[in-house]
Amino acid sequence: MTTSRNPTPRPRRVAGRAQRSGDSPAVVEEVAQQPSRDQVAEATSEPEPPTVQEGSSTGSPGLVTGARAPSSTIDGSPEPGTAAEQPPARRATLALVLAVVVLTAVAVLQVAYLWGPLKDDPQVSSQRPVLLSQAAERSAVDTAAKAATAFTQRSHDTYDEQVDEAAAMMTDDFAKEFRQTTDDAKERFVEAEAQVTAEVAAQGVMTASEQQVEVLIFLNQFTIKKDEESAFTAFRLKVTLIDTEQGWLVSDVDAT
């Protein structure tokens, strides 16, 4: 005779826990349905916010695991303590303003030195004997050489005309002294039928400023007189010129 028996369900085994002989199947089932500690920690932990991938070509942020998020607040403004990068246009404007300020300051200094309170009034000294441009210096030296030749050479035939020509290259005061000297020597010069010629051997500036120039002239002089042999004389003259409305004029001559 076969006896019908209700099959008893087999209890489920829980991993890591052996079924004890005294536990009922319901207890075993309840233990099996409880989550593990790792599952509880994973369910309760908050997900980390995604980070934005820099340099995305499409403009949409990409998610990069482990990348450092930009230091900013939720509304996009930089956090306190972080410097916001200036746009290129603003940097260019700032550089232009600084350049204008520097150029203006340089221009003001130049005006002050040339015409203002900082104007330098140079003086001729042993350290700075020449304070003229090359063009002005050349003009003064040429005038001195021409004047030296004019008032050292003359002929008994054209004595007065040559004296007038030389006096025209002098200041009024020095011209008076020159005429007094030539008037005293005229009678003897004409009587001897003398003729004096001169040529410049060398010339150079001693000192020069905008108001006065001193030029050293090396002259070779030839003298011819009636009944006498011709004579040759080499000498030096320091010719001083001053700047006037008529140009450079001789104000003094010293034989050295």
Does CATH number 3.40.640.10 belong to domain 134-255? no
- Report the C-alpha gap between 193 and 223 in whole angstroms: 11
How confident is the model over 42-56, as pLDDT tens digits? Answer: 555 555 555 544 444
pLDDT top residue among 203 and 57: 203
Identity of the residue numbered 192 = A
Burial class (CB within 10 angstroms; exposed 0-12, middle 13-18, buried 19+) of 159: middle
How confident is the model over 31-41, as pLDDT tens digits? Answer: 445 555 555 45
Neighbours of 152 (CB within 10 A): 20
Judge if pTM exceeds 0.85.
Answer: no
Question: Mean pLDDT in the chain?
Answer: 74
